[in-house]
């Protein structure tokens, strides 16, 4: 049998004929095929060696490039700050860069506002945004060590956000980002309630920090240094609660805590619960707090609800201090309070109640609180009034500074102390 192809012709007898890949090949053809296979294998091995060498070359080139370049480093997470404080925004390189070829820009990412610029071996305060003028600066002596951290002082609410620190060295560039977040705690300043009522003291944490990452949220009665309730490491710690508040205080549940609501509910309010309370939040080295004061509604309890069409509204009510006598505090002395009513009708009602009202064995009396000038002018009649009282003469002071003296001739009014003194001397010899 004769076969022919590009290898020429061959004669195959019997079983010498073989089938490979659906082709009939003779022994001579097979030998040629083997030689071709070896060449392919050789070429494959050769190309593989070339590729491997190229990969190694590129790898070494990359290592050289990385070693020759630089990395800009910054913080691993957001920086938690408080309003009015200061914060350092970290930005540095591992190897110092020559100041001659260095340029550093600090910008906000939301508005491209230029916060600070270092160029030509010096800071450029004239280039920064006016909002950061005098508030954002470098640690100049640290620049030569590769430290480009930025100090921002007198923090305001608008400072929150993400800042980019971009470092330029000839054709190379690197950057890092720093985020500022605020820890702001808000709440009420004063609340009024009746004894035996339930009351809520507001405390809200305005921050992107998850509640479980807050180290401590604590409520304390600051005027007596008593722990009321503590939230620590994501768990409400009732073991710290003072026995006086045990089973009477609580937060509003997981859903409200997740929203940053750490308002405190006090059940069955007692007389001794009045006073100042502080909600304090601690996160890292930053803390913030709000203070709430409880005032008990003694007025309504003393007068009775039938006297009022509505609950009197007080803008503030505070004590002037205790009456101190030799040897300590005399509990029988009067305890003055100042109350500012938002309703003229409420103020007039209490002003007319000069004789006072009994309350739990004590007498409450009301007096109008005058300005410093009016009080001084009324005080100039004090000696005259004392002499008339001694003689049994009826006398009173009308607003603002009119002395009224009742004599056998009727009423005598005077706004001038000297004139009043002359009248008293002529008629009463005092």
Tokens of 87: 């914060």
Domain co-membership, 203 together with 157: no
Conformational region of residue 282, where left means phi above 0, alpha means psi within -120 to 50, and beta covers everything else: beta
Domain membership of residue 245 (yes or no) is yes
What residue ranges in 211-365 does DSSP mark as E strands?
216-221, 226-232, 235-237, 249-250, 264-266, 275-283, 286-296, 314-319, 324-325, 328-329, 337-341, 357-359, 362-364
Alpha-carbon separation of residue 331 from 288, 335, 369 (angstroms) = 37, 9, 23
Number of domains in the chain: 5
Instruction: Tell me what pLDDT residue 304 has.
Output: 58
Domain co-membership, 87 together with 163: yes
Domain membership of residue 60 (yes or no) is no
Report the CATH number at residue 157: 2.60.40.10
Domain co-membership, 79 together with 130: yes
Report pTM. 0.50
d(CA 384, CA 221): 48
Domain membership of residue 67 (yes or no) is no
pLDDT tens digit at each of 430 positions of the chain: 433 443 333 333 333 333 333 344 444 443 444 444 444 433 444 444 444 444 444 333 333 333 345 789 999 888 888 888 899 999 999 888 888 889 999 999 988 899 999 998 889 999 999 999 999 998 888 988 899 999 999 998 889 899 999 999 888 899 999 999 888 888 877 887 777 789 999 999 887 777 877 889 999 999 899 999 999 988 999 999 999 999 999 999 888 998 899 999 999 988 789 899 999 998 877 888 899 988 776 666 666 545 555 666 665 555 555 544 344 455 566 667 677 777 777 777 776 765 666 666 777 777 777 778 888 888 888 888 888 888 788 888 777 788 888 877 667 777 788 888 887 777 766 5
Instruction: Tell me what pLDDT residue 326 has.
Output: 40
Domain membership of residue 271 (yes or no) is yes
Domain co-membership, 173 together with 244: no
Domain co-membership, 117 together with 178: yes
Using the 3D structure, point to which of 323, 347, 364 is the last residue of a domain.
Answer: 364
Report the CATH number at residue 383: 3.30.250.20
Using the 3D structure, point to which of 260, 277, 296 is the last residue of a domain.
Answer: 296
The answer to whether 395 touches 403, Cβ cutoff 8 Å, is yes
Burial string for 140-163 (b: 16+ CB within 10 Å, else e) reads eeebeebebbbebeebeeebbeeb
Q: What is the 3-state secondary structure (H, E, C) of 72-127?
A: EECCCCCEEECCCCCEEECCEECCCCCHHHEEEEEEECCCCCEEEEEECCEECHHH
Domain co-membership, 76 together with 34: no
Domain membership of residue 322 (yes or no) is yes
Alpha-carbon separation of residue 9 from 31, 219, 267, 304 (angstroms) = 14, 104, 111, 131
Closest CA to 17 of 7, 29, 6, 8: 29
Sort strands 136-138 and 150-152 into parallel, antiparallel or unpaired.
antiparallel
Using the 3D structure, point to which of 255, 279, 296 is the last residue of a domain.
Answer: 296
Domain co-membership, 190 together with 173: no
Instruction: Tell me what pLDDT residue 166 has.
Output: 94
Domain membership of residue 66 (yes or no) is no
Domain co-membership, 333 together with 233: no
Range of the domain at 410: 372-428
The answer to whether 284 touches 215, Cβ cutoff 8 Å, is yes
d(CA 363, CA 351): 15
Instruction: Tell me what pLDDT residue 327 has.
Output: 45
The answer to whether 136 touches 116, Cβ cutoff 8 Å, is yes
Domain co-membership, 237 together with 291: yes
Domain co-membership, 177 together with 203: no
Domain co-membership, 213 together with 290: yes
Domain membership of residue 29 (yes or no) is yes
Domain co-membership, 291 together with 304: no
Conformational region of residue 90, where left means phi above 0, alpha means psi within -120 to 50, and beta covers everything else: beta
Domain membership of residue 63 (yes or no) is no
Instruction: Tell me what pLDDT residue 25 has.
Output: 42
Alpha-carbon separation of residue 141 from 137, 144, 153 (angstroms) = 12, 7, 19
């Amino acid at each position: 049998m004769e076969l022919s192809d590009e290898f020429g012709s061959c004669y195959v007898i019997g079983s010498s004929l073989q089938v490979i890949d659906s082709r009939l090949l003779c022994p001579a053809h097979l030998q040629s095929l083997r030689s071709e296979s070896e060449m392919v294998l050789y070429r494959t091995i050769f190309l593989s060696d070339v590729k491997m060498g190229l990969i190694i070359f590129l790898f070494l080139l990359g290592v050289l490039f990385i070693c020759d370049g630089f990395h800009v480093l910054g913080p691993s997470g957001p920086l938690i700050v408080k309003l009015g404080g200061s914060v350092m925004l970290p930005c540095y390189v591992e190897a110092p860069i020559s100041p001659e070829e260095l340029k550093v820009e600090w910008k906000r990412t939301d508005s491209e506002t230029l916060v600070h610029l270092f160029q030509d071996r010096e800071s450029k305060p004239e280039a920064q945004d006016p909002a950061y003028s005098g508030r954002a600066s470098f640690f100049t002596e640290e620049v030569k060590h590769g430290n480009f951290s930025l100090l921002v002082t007198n923090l305001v609410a608008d400072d929150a956000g993400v800042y980019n620190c971009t470092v330029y060295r000839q054709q190379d560039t690197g950057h890092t980002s720093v985020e500022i977040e605020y820890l702001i705690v808000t709440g009420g300043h004063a609340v009024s309630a009746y004894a035996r009522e339930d009351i809520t003291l507001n405390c809200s944490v305005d921050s992107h920090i998850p509640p479980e990452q807050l180290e401590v949220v604590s409520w304390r009665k600051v005027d007596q240094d008593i722990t009321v309730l503590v939230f620590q490491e994501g768990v409400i710690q009732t073991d710290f609660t003072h026995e006086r508040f045990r089973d009477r205080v609580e937060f509003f549940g997981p859903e409200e805590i997740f929203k940053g609501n750490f308002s405190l509910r006090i059940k069955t309010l007692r007389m001794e619960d009045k006073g100042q309370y502080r909600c304090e939040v601690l996160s890292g080295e930053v803390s913030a707090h709000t203070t709430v004061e409880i005032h008990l509604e003694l007025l309504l309890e003393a007068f009775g609800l039938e006297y009022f069409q509505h609950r009197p509204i007080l803008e503030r009510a505070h004590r002037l201090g205790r009456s101190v006598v030799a040897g300590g505090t005399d509990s029988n002395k009067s305890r003055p309070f100042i109350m500012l009513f938002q309703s003229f009708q409420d103020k007039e009602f209490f002003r007319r109640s000069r004789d006072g009202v009994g309350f739990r064995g004590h007498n409450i009396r009301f007096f109008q609180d005058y300005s410093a000038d009016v009080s001084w002018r009324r005080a100039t009649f004090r000696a005259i009034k004392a002499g008339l009282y001694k003689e049994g003469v009826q006398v009173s002071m009308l607003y603002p500074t009119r002395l009224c003296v009742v004599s056998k001739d009727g009423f005598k009014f005077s706004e001038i102390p000297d004139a009043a003194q002359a009248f008293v001397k002529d008629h009463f010899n005092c």
